[in-house]
Structure 1
């Protein structure tokens, strides 16, 4: 029974918002907390595959709404970074019927806003940074930096790689710096078109890459994001960079890539971090999802997707298996998700996905609603 069960979700990123929307539609009394003062349109792109769009269909047909505003690439193209030779051309929307849903590329802020619009506004508490919580076996009391408190029946941690909830359950441990950073920039779509850009492509050399794609149906914005070895000593999660620094890292790349970078006005960079897999994702009345339990390098474009899948499976477990035995329900959630999340984490960290011809159906064709849940 979900009626009257209060679920608190810490972290209003894509995984937390998905969990809030899905649980709300199953009758749970959901509150979503986030430390940010409010929504902001972060300057980044994101790719969501059919595996995620099948879930977003359960948020009042959000899959269709997103398909109307997103870019819909027919293919993923992998190219040699120096001469542009095609290494692989993988069907995406060219095989939409086979996958069962579209593949979209979109501005992360536009996606985030569309997902937030699926939640009743008064259920979102901005400016609430969790500093502590106490699970007494019957409920979970929450303490926030702003001095406010709340009590819920179940606490869901969707608070990212530096999760406060994870820290309290498993102890303080620094995330592992992978030795890689990522540069990112958004350039005008017209500049990309003038250079003959692919709709969605990744350019590779031995130790670095750059991913390039449009962010909207009209192809007005074009996103650049890299992976490259570099030192990172700052405690900051992101720093400003420069076009010159960006270009120096890809000095031997094809002239088309050079042209992309030349068109960049604002450039940022951030460190790529990960963590070792956990042996469990819950304790008592508290459960983790997304980067709080399985962070990964972004090289499959599936990090946020795994968080949304977690949210959907957790919702199924709570609604289908019930809340009377939370240990059994949370263990069922862990068993249902552990193998797939770990596989994606491993491939993402290895940075081999779609470099050579392969069939991505196991990833994109999957549906969490086909899973058989066992308590």
Structure 2
């Protein structure tokens, strides 16, 4: 492989891993640098819609992911009393209409599957990026452990607190959105004593808050909830999350349906997370550096499409680089932004507004999207 093909990805999350797999499959030399000391089963539940499953089909992991995930027949929305607000068909309908399944799964299990597709030795852990230096014909990366790496282009897939973004646009902390999310996993067997139908995928709504609930495994042995709740101030300082309690949850969802109360009763390890935002970025790339996912367009999780947008970003960036080659990275980056910005910005706006599927609507513009189905939009059309 010629030296003009070296690609460094900062961050081995879902978006970084997707970009790495797509680029390696296209024949590029890719190294991924992750600040965590090792891979671990982090996170909890996550949705993967047909728009992403079609990307995983190309990567060769669609079928094993389907085997490990839960397959909801509907996305239900219900008000606090239990009345249905919407019934969005998934299941066989999604396969027929959108050409792929809709699943919910544990994020760590999905991530492990993605990591298994990467070439051995191409992921480097315990690499905390400390500085970036662009020279005339390459980028020099320095890490906190004293090591260095050289690349022709660098992809910043390092999240909302991206160091690559800081190099491009300066240091600026994300803003607290005024919302928090509570998260907990529940053993499904603990719910067997209740005479409720704990649905595969349901979002409980009231005027200013919600609770999203779904299974994370094909065995349906692990149930998960994540909330969206307004809170004027974040009490956790710089912590990414803090412990919460059943008492706080009971107070937060007072008056909700008894099945919601049952979920809270059986959630022992509840955490609370600040939901952070950034203003839309003026640029997605500069020089030999380019951003994707939360480093580029973070959004509230209320649409269950944040990780999907990062994965779509990674696949589209790979497609554009395959079109131009790394030596013409400037054209590739402009193509990437032209073909991603409108969609990612629309999803970001809908997700932040927290209106997605609350009422009966057609989700085809999200789920029916096929990243590979259309010619690349020219950079001048951005």
TM-score tier by shorter-chain length is: over 0.9
Counterpart secondary structure, 2:24? helix
Query: Is the CA contact 2:323–2:332 (under 8 Å) kept in the aligned structure 1?
Result: no
1:347 and 1:2, CA in 2 relative to 1: closer, same or farther beyond 3 A? farther
Whether 1:18 and 2:18 are equivalent positions in the alignment is yes
Aligned to 1:273: 276
Aligned to 1:45: 45
Query: Is the CA contact 1:180–1:228 (under 8 Å) kept in the aligned structure 2?
Result: yes
TM-score for the superposition, normalised by structure 2: 0.95
Aligned to 1:216: 217
1:2, CA displacement in angstroms?
Answer: 7.9
Query: Is the CA contact 1:137–1:284 (under 8 Å) kept in the aligned structure 2?
Result: no
Quote the Cα distance in structure 1 between the aligned partners of 2:303 and 2:178.
18
1:315 to 313, 318, 325: 318
Quote the Cα distance in structure 2 between the aligned partners of 1:247 and 1:145.
43
Structure 1: segments with no counterpart, 5+ residues: none
1:196, CA displacement in angstroms?
Answer: 1.7
Query: Is the CA contact 1:299–1:348 (under 8 Å) kept in the aligned structure 2?
Result: yes
1:121, CA displacement in angstroms?
Answer: 2.9
Quote the Cα distance in structure 1 between the aligned partners of 2:84 and 2:315.
36
Quote the Cα distance in structure 1 between the aligned partners of 2:177 and 2:252.
17
Aligned to 1:232: 234
1:197, CA displacement in angstroms?
Answer: 0.5
Query: Is the CA contact 1:31–1:123 (under 8 Å) kept in the aligned structure 2?
Result: yes
Matching of residues 30-69 of structure 1 within 5 Å? 30-59=30-59, 61-69=60-68
Query: Is the CA contact 2:299–2:351 (under 8 Å) kept in the aligned structure 1?
Result: yes
Query: Is the CA contact 1:79–1:88 (under 8 Å) kept in the aligned structure 2?
Result: yes
1:34 and 1:313, CA in 2 relative to 1: closer, same or farther beyond 3 A? same
Structure 2: segments with no counterpart, 5+ residues: none
Deviations 1:308-347 (A, max 9, x none): 0000110000001222322221011001000000000000
Aligned to 2:206: 205
Quote the Cα distance in structure 2 between the aligned partners of 1:92 and 1:137.
51
TM-score for the superposition, normalised by structure 1: 0.97
Query: Is the CA contact 2:9–2:154 (under 8 Å) kept in the aligned structure 1?
Result: yes
1:371, CA displacement in angstroms?
Answer: 3.1
Quote the Cα distance in structure 2 between the aligned partners of 1:140 and 1:3.
12
Whether 1:344 and 2:347 are equivalent positions in the alignment is yes
1:112, CA displacement in angstroms?
Answer: 0.6
1:125 and 1:87, CA in 2 relative to 1: closer, same or farther beyond 3 A? same
Matching of residues 87-102 of structure 1 within 5 Å? 87-95=85-93, 96-102=95-101
Query: Is the CA contact 2:215–2:221 (under 8 Å) kept in the aligned structure 1?
Result: yes
Counterpart secondary structure, 2:248? helix
Whether 1:254 and 2:253 are equivalent positions in the alignment is no
Quote the Cα distance in structure 2 between the aligned partners of 1:146 and 1:248.
46
Aligned to 2:146: 147
Counterpart secondary structure, 1:54? helix
Deviations 1:24-70 (A, max 9, x none): 101111101111001111241000100001001111x2011100110
Quote the Cα distance in structure 2 between the aligned partners of 1:259 and 1:94.
30
Whether 1:292 and 2:291 are equivalent positions in the alignment is no
Query: Is the CA contact 1:336–1:371 (under 8 Å) kept in the aligned structure 2?
Result: no
Query: RMSD of aligned C-alpha atoms?
Result: 1.3
1:370, CA displacement in angstroms?
Answer: 1.6
Quote the Cα distance in structure 2 between the aligned partners of 1:372 and 1:3.
29
Counterpart secondary structure, 1:261? helix
Quote the Cα distance in structure 1 between the aligned partners of 2:214 and 2:200.
6
Quote the Cα distance in structure 1 between the aligned partners of 2:43 and 2:341.
31
Quote the Cα distance in structure 2 between the aligned partners of 1:34 and 1:192.
38
Quote the Cα distance in structure 2 between the aligned partners of 1:306 and 1:34.
20
Query: Is the CA contact 1:4–1:28 (under 8 Å) kept in the aligned structure 2?
Result: no
Counterpart secondary structure, 1:173? coil
1:265, CA displacement in angstroms?
Answer: 1.1
Matched residue count: 373
Quote the Cα distance in structure 1 between the aligned partners of 2:200 and 2:35.
35
